Structure 1
Amino acid sequence: MNIDLDLSIDKMLATICIRLQEGEALPTVEELKQYLAKGGINYGVDEKALEQAIKNHGSIITVAKGESPTEPIDGVVEYKFPLKTEIKPKEDKSGNVDYFDLGFVFNVKAGDLLATKTPPVEGKPGHDVTGKALMPKKPFNPKFVAGKGAKLSEDGLSIFAEVAGTPRLIDGRVVVLQTLDVDKDVDFATGNIVFNGSVNIRGSVLSGFSVEADGDVIIAGIVEEATVKAKGNVIIRSGFEGGAKGLLQAGKSVNVKFVHNGKVFAGEDVLIESEAFFSRITAGNKIIMQGRNSQITGGNVEAGMEIRCRAIGSYKHTKTLVSAGVVPGLREKLEGVTNRIKSIEAQIKKAKELEEKFLYLKKRQKENFPQAQAEALENVQKTIESYINQKESLQKVKEEIIKTKEERKGGRIISDIIYPGVVVTIADISQEITEEIRGANVRIEEGELKFY
């Protein structure tokens, strides 16, 4: 008797064919199972199929089948708020303002459901007919984290708002950003405003008051001799009458209609519609005067890369300082680092003089050199090493500052008219204008200021 045993390529099927010679007896089911086991088939054996193989000897019968692993089910997060939103205040037909409803922004109140998660389901392992385990692939388990202003449920499958505000998905975290809407002037009725979100002010900010926000500050009215600080943008629909103490400061950009006698600092750009008179304005990137009759007169205006304005100075030859290719505070930082290096060098010199005295005594006294002085010598040497390390670190900082200054020589100043009395600076090269220049594009070439 011959029994032909065959396996599929993936070892998920096993077939046999029983071939009898004349006078031979048929095998039993148990004998076939033993035969299969010797052939390495020990999973998914079908006894009924073995009976069929005996009954229909001479035919090829599938007698064992493997089991494929079940597919896993990926986890899914469903957000109950739009992932892309735009901050814009909203009014109803009666003109009433909802303090937390900003129109296109999706607003929530404390306790609102923000997101749900359906957890992943692991697939089940399978086996081929030899008994080898077939492992399923791992399911995707999406990030599901509650950030500031949001709370994860105890079962970890829901996120709720803890405060009223605007939900956002930031770096994979569900957070609630709070936005404050003020429908009046910032004055004695409100006091100073400190807010960890964005602030929309329908009125003005009066002299002596301040507004600080972690987000943007948007002001419909005017800013007097007041302080407005934002880590985001500062947008003033009217202008800024800064006086002696007024300040606008933005981590990103400042956008204002005009600036009179004020201080303005922006990490990115400063956009001014009309004029900037007798003001200190500093931008990390650009200062763009957008109006047709825009003018910079008096004061000190500095931009990291570029200044654009129709007119700079005035026909009265008003002293006006404009600088491009200047990193705000870089000059002062370089001066501070340089002075610190000089101070450390002086300390190193003193310490080395003291070290030389100890070494001289040690050489003379040899084994009689006192232990206390030996310890003092060791401390002096450690101090010298510390000073040298500090100097090397500061030297690297200085080199980076100098490198940045060189890179900023690509700055430029563009103006239709530059009047006499204006001092133009690109990077660290300055020139006072003595004659009216029209259609000026000022930049550095070959180490000199060029006017095109």
Structure 2
Amino acid sequence: MVTLDRLRIDLEKQLQIDKEITAVEVIGDTLDECLADAAVQLETKVRNLEYEVIEKGFAGVIGLMKKPWRIKVYENPSLIQKKHSENSVSAESNSEEIEEIKVVTMDGMYFIRRFGSNIFVKVTLPVGDGNPVNPDDLINDARRPDNTRLDEELLKKLAKEGTNDEYVEVGDYNHISAGDAVMAVDLAKDEMQATITVSAPAAGGSDISADRIINALRTQGVVAGIEEDKIKAFVDTPVYNVPYEVAAAVQPQHGTDAYIEYKFETDKSRLKLKETENGQVDFKELNLIQNVVAGQPLAKKILPTRGRGGKTIMGRYLEARNGKDISLPLGQNTVLDKDGCTILAEKNGHVSLVGDKINVEEIYEVQGVNIKTGNISYMGTVLCRGDVEDGFNIKADGNVEIYGSVGRCNIEAGGDIVISQGVMGRDECEIVTSKSVWARFIQNAKVTAEEYIVVNDNIMNSDVTAMKKIVLKGKRASIIGGKVFATEEISAKNIGSSGGGIETILSVGYDPRKKQRLTELQEMQANLVKELEEIELNIQTLENNKKVRRSLPKEKEESLNNFIAQKSDLVAQNEEMTKEIDEINERLRELKVVGCVNASGTVYPGVKIYVRDELDEVRTETKAVTFFYDNGFVKRGKFDPSQVSDVGGPDGYSAN
């Protein structure tokens, strides 16, 4: 018996389901066009849609009297319930990761249909906390005056266990063929769709079964694209007197074209500015350079895919287009990897997309280093056509070539540094290189080179260090003020100032790094020798005990073996240290001979010359002189132009 409470509960549940259904109203020239538009709006497939015709369209006659279709479209309620069910199952599978899971609740449902002369029932089980099908409700709905047999016990069982999404026979009825539902099958002229239009059955008539729909389609020649899910949905909830899609062509899947997947930023406008610690934009760090190293992947070609042909509902083949291939954008200093698809950098440098080619440029060229470029950090050679303005820095793995001048800047290079117009550091400039420095002049700066420093005019009030030689050339080749150190040689025209008052210190004839390393090695070797003596004493003690006792306990035997192994390691370390010490001493002995200061012009009073650790302080003007080391003293000799080294030009100089 259906009570008011039961009816209220059912209505509330149905209202909840109806709230989940989103409907849209669309207008189009054809029904298919309307459904396609609605599918996009509802973000689903056409086969999942149900619709109501508001205004039936008319194609017109020769373009006249044309009338558009107007329909209200919504997603199939049973599919919405199915989605809820799937979401519930998915949520349960993630229960270990999610503390609180929202369980989708859906009541069980039943459908009663009459196919042929038999009564069939389909029962779905509840989901979550949903209520199961009430057996009494199912039996009451299945009862009809024209029934001849109804298995109520089976109905009770099915209400409890469900029918596994199938229709199960539960009885018979007085079938009147004249009252059967009438179905018409309509095939689109382009064979892309098949629809059915069904009229409701009369009293005693049979419903349309899924098998009947499928057989009718096959009879009409439909062999592909039969949508069984839609057919089942129609059987459950029939839509009468309007076209209903039951088959659709299998659309061809066109292949995707090949494309390049870049592993660097190709759009310079998307390169981000660096921020300081307080979150402000640092306009000196513009990040315009994308450095890469040799062997680094730059891009990869994603190969085209082959298309998959489709079929019309009548089985006619629909051709699919294969994806188009493209050529690889190999440019300067790039190579192809073994896979034939990955582009690698052949050299260190700056990667960029020029036109349609990927280039790795070893030389990064700018007109000047300033607010437009920001600081430059580059894995190659930097070529600056203008000045490096105050406050901006350059760091390069290769050479740094500057056609202009350098102000209060820091410049660091792995190769040579060439500065055409000189350095005006104002005591806030530091230049460091692993090779050599060439400059017109150096003023108020700190310069360190692992090889040579070559200056045309003067070095003034600067701290300059070269691990090999410092050579000043030209008519005004002068060293005035500051500290200048070279391991092998310092050569200039004039040294010091005629007016005095400026401290000028020159040092040659020793290698401070080698000297420091020698001291470290000698201390390490002294400690190692002490450790060797202790281990040797322990070995002798244990071996003597072994001779007296003929054997040692297991622990002491292991100790003896460990001491012998340690001795072997320490002896090897000592030999390596001795070899390095001998090499350093040989180098220092060589510097006794080559360490000298050459002045082709004048050395002014007040200049201090250190050769090795010995000092010669110049007290009177001295002309055309060479300072060198001999028997513990700094001696002076006549300047010989042939003694001045010719260091050549910059290595790998690339300026044109």
Q: Are 1:282 and 1:328, in contact at CA under 8 Å, matched by a contact in 2?
A: no
Aligned CA RMSD, in angstroms, stands at 3.8
Q: Which residue of 2 aligns with 1:385?
A: 568
Q: Are 1:302 and 1:326, in contact at CA under 8 Å, matched by a contact in 2?
A: no
Q: Give the Cα–Cα distance (whole angstroms) in 2 for the partners of residues 245 and 378 of structure 1.
A: 60
Q: Which residue of 2 aligns with 1:440?
A: 625
Q: Which residue of 1 aligns with 2:647?
A: none
Q: Give the Cα–Cα distance (whole angstroms) in 2 for the partners of residues 148 and 251 of structure 1.
A: 27
Q: Which residue of 1 aligns with 2:579?
A: 396
The verdict on how the C-alpha distance between 1:198 and 1:349 changes in structure 2, with shifts beyond 3 A counting, is: same
Q: Please say if 1:221 is aligned against 2:404.
A: yes
Q: Give the Cα–Cα distance (whole angstroms) in 1 for the partners of residues 331 and 587 of structure 2.
A: 37
Q: Give the Cα–Cα distance (whole angstroms) in 1 for the partners of residues 589 and 396 of structure 2.
A: 35
The verdict on how the C-alpha distance between 1:373 and 1:165 changes in structure 2, with shifts beyond 3 A counting, is: closer
Q: Give the Cα–Cα distance (whole angstroms) in 2 for the partners of residues 148 and 376 of structure 1.
A: 63
Q: Give the Cα–Cα distance (whole angstroms) in 2 for the partners of residues 448 and 258 of structure 1.
A: 32
Where 1:451 maps in the other structure, the secondary structure is strand
Offset, 1:183: 1.8
Q: Give the Cα–Cα distance (whole angstroms) in 1 for the partners of residues 526 and 346 of structure 2.
A: 54
Q: Are 1:186 and 1:203, in contact at CA under 8 Å, matched by a contact in 2?
A: no
Counterpart selection for 1:417 from 580, 602, 606:
602
Counterpart selection for 2:492 from 306, 309, 320:
309
Q: Are 2:368 and 2:388, in contact at CA under 8 Å, matched by a contact in 1?
A: no
Q: Which residue of 1 aligns with 2:375?
A: 192
Q: Give the Cα–Cα distance (whole angstroms) in 2 for the partners of residues 206 and 343 of structure 1.
A: 52
Q: Give the Cα–Cα distance (whole angstroms) in 1 for the partners of residues 584 and 490 of structure 2.
A: 22
Deviation string for 1:104-145 (max 9, x for gaps)? xxxxxx99xxxxxxxxxxxxxxxxxxxxxxxxxxxxxxxxxx
Q: Which residue of 2 aligns with 1:248?
A: 431
The verdict on how the C-alpha distance between 1:388 and 1:210 changes in structure 2, with shifts beyond 3 A counting, is: farther
Offset, 1:180: 0.6
Pair member with larger Rg: 2
Deviation string for 1:1-27 (max 9, x for gaps)? xxxxxxxxxxxxxxxxxxxxxxxxxxx
Where 1:296 maps in the other structure, the secondary structure is strand
Counterpart selection for 2:532 from 313, 327, 348:
348
Offset, 1:266: 2.2
Where 2:465 maps in the other structure, the secondary structure is strand
The verdict on how the C-alpha distance between 1:261 and 1:335 changes in structure 2, with shifts beyond 3 A counting, is: farther
Q: Give the Cα–Cα distance (whole angstroms) in 1 for the partners of residues 616 and 427 of structure 2.
A: 28
Q: Are 1:240 and 1:258, in contact at CA under 8 Å, matched by a contact in 2?
A: yes
The verdict on how the C-alpha distance between 1:396 and 1:370 changes in structure 2, with shifts beyond 3 A counting, is: same
Q: Give the Cα–Cα distance (whole angstroms) in 1 for the partners of residues 463 and 541 of structure 2.
A: 54
The structure that is helix-richer by fraction is 2
Offset, 1:424: 1.9
Q: Give the Cα–Cα distance (whole angstroms) in 2 for the partners of residues 434 and 165 of structure 1.
A: 53
Counterpart selection for 1:181 from 359, 362, 365:
365
Q: Give the Cα–Cα distance (whole angstroms) in 2 for the partners of residues 153 and 420 of structure 1.
A: 66
Offset, 1:310: 2.2
The verdict on how the C-alpha distance between 1:148 and 1:296 changes in structure 2, with shifts beyond 3 A counting, is: same
Q: Which residue of 1 aligns with 2:506?
A: 322
The verdict on how the C-alpha distance between 1:164 and 1:333 changes in structure 2, with shifts beyond 3 A counting, is: closer
Q: Please say if 1:337 is aligned against 2:521.
A: yes
Q: Are 1:257 and 1:273, in contact at CA under 8 Å, matched by a contact in 2?
A: yes
Counterpart selection for 2:452 from 255, 264, 269:
269
Q: Are 2:366 and 2:385, in contact at CA under 8 Å, matched by a contact in 1?
A: yes
Q: 1:395 corresponds to which letter in structure 2?
A: T
Q: Are 2:349 and 2:379, in contact at CA under 8 Å, matched by a contact in 1?
A: no
Matches within 5 A, 1:115-154: 149-151=333-335
Offset, 1:228: 1.3
TM-score, normalising length from structure 2?
0.40
Q: Which has the higher contact order (CA 8 A, sep 6+)?
A: 1
Offset, 1:270: 0.9
Deviation string for 1:148-199 (max 9, x for gaps)? 923259899xx99979989xxxxxxxx9652111223245x43332212211
Q: Please say if 1:236 is aligned against 2:419.
A: yes
Q: Which residue of 2 aligns with 1:114?
A: none
Q: Are 2:405 and 2:419, in contact at CA under 8 Å, matched by a contact in 1?
A: yes
Percent identity, please.
Answer: 29
Structure 2 unpaired stretches of 5+? 1-287, 289-297, 300-329, 351-358, 638-656
Offset, 1:397: 1.0
Q: Are 2:369 and 2:375, in contact at CA under 8 Å, matched by a contact in 1?
A: no
Where 1:316 maps in the other structure, the secondary structure is coil
Where 1:329 maps in the other structure, the secondary structure is helix
Where 2:482 maps in the other structure, the secondary structure is strand
Q: 2:604 corresponds to which letter in structure 1?
A: Y
Q: 1:283 corresponds to which letter in structure 2?
A: A
Offset, 1:257: 2.5
Q: Are 2:394 and 2:410, in contact at CA under 8 Å, matched by a contact in 1?
A: yes
Deviation string for 1:47-80 (max 9, x for gaps)? xxxxxxxxxxxxxxxxxxxxxxxxxxxxxxxxxx
The verdict on how the C-alpha distance between 1:332 and 1:155 changes in structure 2, with shifts beyond 3 A counting, is: closer
Structure 1 unpaired stretches of 5+? 1-98, 100-109, 112-145, 167-174
